[in-house]
Structure 1
């Protein structure tokens, strides 16, 4: 009489591995600081002191060649005020992201229109100087 041989295949249980990968994914998603960049090529001026961006802000970008952008949308200077009126809330910070080569008068013109739109807080975006702490 022959004894039947049962072949047992041993497999790798992937459930714990999948659980660990899922937990790592959740951890990195929750701890990552998401920064919305507008994608406009603006070289910011440098300053010795900088602050962290806040959530409730609207950025107005001014490029070197004099183009204006709000939320990645190019618009003429005449439409900056009306575009901001629809986006501003009482505590919204308006960040002027002007290229370092933009004339001061251009930046002041934008700031005037931002103020007319009802902004209470206007900030000029800068990069931290190398060696400043």
Structure 2
């Protein structure tokens, strides 16, 4: 009488490894903060003191040649107030991302229009200076 020989498969069970990788992926996706860049070439001025970005904000970019962009769309200074009115809520901050070579009068005019639109706070975006504490 012949006894049948069973061959045992000696494979590696990958299910726990896949579970761990999936959990790590979910963890990193939930804890990562994504920085939203508007893609407009603005060289920010440097400052010694900086703060972190706020969650509820609207960015206004001013390029070197004085063009204004809100949410990636070019806007004229006369239409800035109207454009911002529809985007602002009671606690929305307006972040002005002005190029370091923008004349002061242009920056002041933009701040004036954002204040007229009802901005609760106006923030000027800067880069942290090298060597700042």
TM-score (norm 2): 0.94
In structure 1, the gaps of 5 or more residues are none
* Residues 25-104 of structure 1 aligned to structure 2 (within 5 Å): 25-104=25-104
Deviation at 1:24, TM superposition (A): 0.9
Runs in 1 of length 4+ with deviation above 4 angstroms? Answer: none
- 1:126 counterpart residue number: 126
TM-score scaled by structure 1? Answer: 0.94
SS of the residue 1:69 aligns to: strand
Cα RMSD of the aligned pairs, angstroms, is 1.2
Q: What SS class does the counterpart of residue 60 from structure 2 fall into? A: strand
Separation (CA, whole Å) in 1 of partners of 2:88 and 2:60? 12
How many residues are treated as equivalent by the alignment?
Answer: 133
Offset from partner CA, 1:59-118 (integer Å, 9 cap, x none): 100011221111111222222111100011111111100000111111111111111111
* In structure 2, C-alpha distance between the alignment counterparts of 1:14 and 1:75, rounded to whole Å: 55
Partner of 2:110: 110
* Residue segments in structure 2 that go unaligned for 5+ positions in a row: none
